Amino acid sequence: MNIIYLLLAISLVVALIFFVAFIFSVRKGQYDDVYTPSVRMLFEDEIIKNPNTNQSVKKEKSS
Amino acid sequence: MHILNCFHCGEECLDEVIRFSEKDFCCTGCKTVFEILNTNDLSYYYELERNPGTSPKFSENKFDFLDNPEIAEKLLEFDHNNIQVISLMIPSIHCSSCIWVLENLNKIHKFVRSSQVDFPKKRVRISFASDKLTLKELVIMLARIGYEPSISLESYEPKNSNIDRSLIYKLGVAGFAFGNIMFLSFPEYFEINEFWLEKFKHLFRWLMFSFSLPVVFYAGKDYFTSAWKGLHAGMLNIDVPIALGIAVLFLRSTAEIAFDLGTGFFDSLSGLVFFLLLGRFFQQKTYSFLSFERDYKSYFPIAVTRLNSEENRQKEEQVQVYKIKIGDRILIRNEELIPMDCILIKGKARIDYSFVTGEAEPVSRKSGEKLFAGGRQQGGIIEVEAVKPVQQSYLTELWNNEVFSKDKNNAFQNLTNQISQRFTIAVLSIAIVATVFWMFYDASRAWNVFTAVLIIACPCAIALSAPFTLGNMLRIFGKHKLYLKEARVIEQISQIDTVVFDKTGTITTSKKETITYEGLELNDAEKQLLTGSLRASNHPLSRALYRILDKNDIALPENFEEVTGKGLLTSSSDLKLKIGSSEFVKQPKAAQTLSGGASKTSVHISANDEYKGCFSFHNAYRKGISELFASLSEDRELIILSGDNAGEREKLEKLLPAGTLMFFDQNPGDKLQFIKDLQQQNRKVMMIGDGLNDAGALAQSEVGIAISEDINVFSPACDGILDARKFGDINKFFDLSSKAIKVIKWSFMLSLCYNLVGLGFAVTGNLMPVVAAILMPLSSISVVFFATLATQLLGKKLESNLKPES
């Protein structure tokens, strides 16, 4: 059962890693804005349409 | 006619419709934005949200001051190697399209390196190559696509970049320790005398002890300092029994494991601190896009145009306003704000003081007369000479009053602390009586009982009732467009017995919407020409008037001349119209016989040099004002405190319930003093205002609410900002606040029940750590559950109440 000491040490180290990661992320300001990233991740670059040529021809006509 | 909505901004196209690329636009500004975005591959903007845009309204030279390197330097966050970073506040950020387009700025201008939006704060942080793109160009580019940044005197102040995150750290520490201690204490809950458990339990206990150290000395330290402060002030606040509980828990647990008497209560200890901090965190709802601390600085411009005369030639220069000295000549353009007290030298001043004094009408001033800071010039360019620096001007001096440095929080004793007063005394007496009893009965357990009582009576659940109830309420209020600064305000609203209203901009709308005509009736030909002429004019009054006129038969003018600042000269066949100010129409005498005489905002008309009459513009009272006042006056005294003259008194008396007191011609200082006097009569005062002239009164009153037509634009320092459209619902907020207090009281009862059960265990000397570990979270969770449920129900009820109206 001496393995408990090792397990305990491991579990503590793992817990501490997460704890330090949490403190670090707060310090870096990751929780300052919790709304914008939720919107940002839904944007996709490829959806940007190139101005299709048809449209720009029409535009010149109308203006 | 079918009304079209602008493809860009979604506003109704009232005056004109511009067809462009098969889409409708309300103005050229909107069309230009569409064009810019379209040519830069950013038309996805319009697919993300419908009509996401804001119509750009700005003048080109508005941002000239950004060329001044000194000012620019103050605004920049970073400036090195031709890379500049700036964080700009953009009030018009409102949807996901805004985020998208602002983060793709580099598609419009390739020297924008990157941009990132902070949506809740309505800020965008842009990094750009400063050798290729100047700050001014960047700002103008933003303004052109409808995202004009707000840059005011406030931006010039050193930025407070230290965000207080200590509560999150504390919460993290407490939660981390709580979880680990629960794991470590779990084996001993079952009390089995098992070989391995006996062997390891000492290690487990000392591990728990070390986990509890940061909980007590870091996460819980606020409770000790607050309790100490309370005791120092002779007040038993809620933190006194909490601090006592934490201290006793820690000391007894340490003693227990040191002398091998038991496991201690480390689990309850860390749980207690964790839950308490959670309550604090929950209560701390902030509206980061709103500021409740604003003063004149966020309203005043950062720079003005100074005239320097050098070698008989006048040169214009953009100068930071603090640098303006007495005697300097300054140029004020149309719609610009006068930043300091000054004397008019040249030009015709027409100053709108509505935001400063509450006067509804702009006043005309001739050269040599004094102009006060905070007024807005309307009309042409004027030249003025400064007579006082910004900080010592008439308006800004108000901020030297002590109310602005006072913290309202300290003066208010909340419900929890009132209860705590009695609660603490009761707990201490129970503890002493029980200890004395056990001293005679079984002295060995007296110490145990004493500490157990203090532990179990620790008012965790009581301390949580208010934060969760008020925190929830704060969110419900926010949903209905009353944004409160902090939870404390809800408690104070429920105690208000006197409500003071400002007039201009508060109970009236800020736009002049009601138009009346007085004078000789116009014949059809005159009417048609009038409508046709107004259509061609861009003056706001022409636009407003055009909107209400019949547009069936429009006669277009053959000759049309617009005299800036005066009026219109138009003619068609044998009819000649003069439309404009009374001086312009040259019939001041005839105009004065009408009640809508020269002082009011009015448009006068003469046909073929014969005076016809005038259209007068009035500030309309907000919808539902009579009902609101009637319902509020049932249990509160209502007072109108206006900076304007008494001209509207009769109208108001008809509109408002009898017994409403009215005071007129009050300057900002008078208003502050008025509130102070009321408070000396032991009144709890709510001030509802909108402008800088109310700032003192808002700060002095128990609850200061600022009314705002557009919550993104300036409102003075206050405890809450109310969307003007919700003005008629103020009584419902009062109602809801008192209901919230009832919920808190019921939660107190609930948590007292738990305390009684716990005390039963404690005084009989039977408190097991496992009982404490169950009872404490159970009481906290059920109180939180009750408070949340009750407030949600109240919120639902409010929503169904409001629905039929909206």
**Residue B410's pLDDT is what?**
63
- Among B385, B288, B181, B332, which residue's Cα sits nearest to residue B189? B181
Assigned token pair, B568: 């219109």
pLDDT of B790 > 90? The answer is yes
Instruction: Among B19, B119, B180, select the one facing A39 at the smallest CB separation.
Output: B119
pLDDT score for B270: 93
Picking from B96, B162, B284 by the largest number of A CB atoms within 10 A of its own CB, the best residue to mutate is B96
Instruction: Say if the Cβ atoms of B169 and A23 lie within 8 Å.
Output: yes
DSSP B681-733: TT--EEEEE-SGGGHHHHHHSSEEEEEESSTTS---S-SEEEEGGGGGGHHHH
Mean pLDDT of B482-494: 88
Secondary structure (DSSP) of B502-538: -IIIIIEEEEEEEEEEEESPP-HHHHHHHHHHHHH--
Band of residue A52 on the pLDDT scale cut at 50, 70, 90: very low
Q: What is the DSSP letter of B18?
A: E
Beta-carbon separation of A62 and B169 below 8 A? no
- Which amino acid, B561? E
Residue B789 has pLDDT above 90, yes or no: yes
Q: Show residues of chain A in contact with B99, CB under 8 Å.
A: 36, 39-40
Residues contacting residue B523 through CB under 8 Å, at least 6 positions apart: none
Mean pLDDT of B321-326: 82
Least confident of B51-65, B167-181, B616-630: B51-65
Task: Quickly state the pLDDT bin for B459 (edges 50, 70, 90).
Answer: confident
| Residue B103, min C-alpha distance to chain A (Å) | 9
Mutate to test the interface with A, among B21, B36, B103, B203 (most CBs of A within 10 A): B21
Question: Quick check: helix, strand or coil at residue B25?
Answer: strand
Give the minimum alpha-carbon distance from A36 to chain B in angstroms, rounded to a whole number: 5
Residues with Cβ < 8 Å from B755, sequence gap 6 or more? B456, B457, B459, B461, B779
* Residue B425 sits at the chain A interface (C-beta within 8 Å): no
> Residue B590's pLDDT band (boundaries 50, 70, 90)?
low
User: For position B1, what pLDDT does the model report?
Assistant: 46
Query: Which band of pLDDT confidence, cut at 50, 70 and 90, is reported for residue A49?
Result: low
| Residues comprising chain A, all counted | 63
pLDDT, one tens digit per residue, over B83-129 is: 888 888 888 888 888 888 888 888 888 888 888 888 888 888 999 98
Residues B636-658: pLDDT tens digits?
A: 889 988 877 777 788 888 888 88
Q: Given A27, A47, A55, which is nearest B44 (Cβ)? A: A47
Task: List pLDDT tens digits, range B189-246.
Answer: 776 677 777 788 888 899 999 999 999 999 999 999 999 998 888 888 888 889 999 9
Counting every residue written for chain B, the total comes to 806
Q: Which two tokens stand for residue B4?
A: 């079209």
- Sort out which chain A residues have CB atoms less than 8 A from B116's CB and list them: 36
pLDDT at B408: 66
Check CB contact under 8 Å for B172 and A32. no
Query: Which of A1, A33, A49 lies at the smallest CB-CB distance from B121?
Result: A33
Mean pLDDT of B455-481: 86
Q: Pick B43's closest partner by Cβ from A22, A29, A49.
A: A49
pLDDT at B598: 42
* Shortest Cα–Cα distance, B39 to chain A (Å): 7
Reported as a pLDDT band with limits 50, 70 and 90, residue A58 is very low
Give the model's confidence band at B340: pLDDT under 50 very low, under 70 low, under 90 confident, else very high.
Answer: confident
More confident: B588 or A38: A38
pLDDT band at B587 (very low <50, low <70, confident <90, very high): low
- Note the pLDDT tens digit of each residue in B247-286: 999 999 999 899 888 888 898 899 999 999 988 888 876 6
Nearest residue, CB atoms, B120 vs list A35, A42, A62: A35
- Which candidate from A22, A47, A58 shows the least CB-CB separation from B172? A22
Question: Looking at CA atoms only, how far is residue A46 from chain B in angstroms?
Answer: 10
Q: What's the rounded mean pLDDT across residues B662-676?
A: 87
Tell me how close the Cα of B43 comes to any Cα of chain A, in angstroms: 7
Dihedral of alpha carbons B213, B228, B495, B356, sign: negative
The predicted-structure confidence for B497-523, as pLDDT tens digits, reads as follows 999 998 877 888 766 567 777 777 788
Q: Do A40 and B180 touch (CB under 8 A)?
A: no
Q: Which residues of B717-742 are buried (b: 16+ CB within 10 A; e: fewer)?
A: bbbbbbbbebbbbbbbbbbbbebbbe
Asked if B43 lies within 8 A of A51 by C-beta distance, the reply is: yes
Residue in the structure block whose two tokens are 């700036």: B86
Overall average pLDDT of the B516-533 stretch: 80
8 Å CB contact of A62 and B100: no
Q: How many CB atoms lie within 10 A of CB B442?
A: 12
Average pLDDT over residues B583-596: 59
Q: What percentage of residues in chain B have a pLDDT greater than 70?
A: 89
Element (H, E) at B307: strand B303-310
Q: Nearest CA to B295 among B698, B703, B727?
A: B698
Distance between alpha carbon B291 and the CA centroid of its chain, in Å? 5
Asked whether the predicted pLDDT for residue B562 surpasses 50, the reply is yes
Give SS3 for B661.
Answer: strand
- On the question of pLDDT at A5 being above 60, the answer is yes
Dihedrals φ, ψ of B705, to 5°?
-115, 130
Residues of A in contact with B21 (CB under 8 A): 55, 58-59, 62
pLDDT of residue A59: 39
Is the minimum CB–CB distance between B206 and chain A shorter than 8 Å? no
CATH of the domain spanning B510-620: 3.40.1110.10
Closest approach of B739 to chain A, Cα-based (Å): 31
**Cβ <8 Å between A59 and B42:** no
**Out of B266-280, B463-477, B763-777, which region has the weakest mean confidence (pLDDT)?**
B763-777
- Chosen for mutation from B43, B201, B203 (greatest number of chain A CBs closer than 10 Å) is B43
Q: Do A15 and B119 touch (CB under 8 A)?
A: no
Contact assignment for B22 to A29 by CB distance below 8 Å: no
Residue in chain A lying closest to B38 (CA): A51
- Residues of A within 8 A of B121 (CB-CB) are 33
pLDDT in tens, B361-383: 677 888 888 888 888 887 778 88
- Residue B661 pLDDT more than 60? yes
Q: Rounded to a whole number, what is the distance in Å from the CA of A16 to chain B's nearest CA?
A: 9
* Secondary structure letter of residue B83 according to DSSP: E
Distance CA B536, CA B543 (A): 9
User: How confident is the model at residue B336, as a pLDDT?
Assistant: 81
Q: Do B200 and A4 touch (CB under 8 A)?
A: yes
In sequence order, what are the beta bridge partners of B499? B638, B686
For chain B, what is the mean pLDDT? Answer: 81
The predicted structure's pLDDT at residue B191 = 65
Q: Give the start-to-end residue ranges of the domains of chain A.
A: 1-44
Chain Cα centroid distance, residue B49: 26
Exposed, middle or buried, B745 (CB in 10 Å: 0-12/13-18/19+)?
A: middle
Under a CB-based contact definition with an 8 Å cutoff, are residues B776 and B784 in contact? Answer: no
DSSP B109-174: -TTEEEEEEETTTTEEEEEEETTTS-HHHHHHHHHHTT-PPP--HHHHSPP------HHHHHHHHH
Tell me which residue in A22, A49, A51 faces B39 most closely, judged by beta carbons: A51
Most confident of B155-164, B372-381, B551-560: B372-381
Q: Is B43 on the interface with A (CB under 8 A)?
A: yes
Q: Binning pLDDT at 50, 70 and 90, where does residue B786 land?
A: very high
Of B42, B163, B196, the CB nearest to A32: B163
Given an 8 Å threshold on Cβ–Cβ distance, is A40 in contact with B118? Answer: no
- Sorted by where each begins, the domain ranges of chain B are 479-508+622-735, 510-620
The predicted structure's pLDDT at residue B160: 60
**pLDDT of B632 over the 70 cut:** yes
Question: Which of A16, A28, A32 to mutate to test binding with chain B, by most B CBs within 10 Å of its CB?
Answer: A32
Interface test with B, best of A3, A45, A48 (most B CBs within 10 A): A48
Q: Are A26 and B165 inside 8 Å of each other by CB?
A: yes
The ipTM of this complex is 0.76
- Distance CA(B342)–CA(B393), nearest Å, equals 9
Put simply, the answer to whether B41 touches A35 (Cβ < 8 Å) is no
Of A36, A55, A59, the CB nearest to B99: A36
Higher pLDDT, B513 or B134: B134
Q: What is the dihedral sign for C-alpha B24, B25, B31, B37?
A: negative
CB of B349 closer than 8 Å to CB of B393: no
Residue type, B39: T
Nearest CA in chain A to B173: A19
Residue B350 and residue B365: Cα distance in Å, rounded? 6
Q: Which of B99, B121, B196 has the CB atom closest to A1's CB atom?
A: B196
**Beta strands, E only, B441-501:** 482-484, 498-501
B19 CB within 8 Å of a chain A CB: yes
Query: Regarding the domain with residue range B479-508+622-735, which homologous superfamily does it belong to in the CATH classification?
Result: HAD superfamily/HAD-like (3.40.50.1000)
Please report the sign of the dihedral spanned by the C-alpha atoms of residue B759, residue B762, residue B764, residue B768. positive
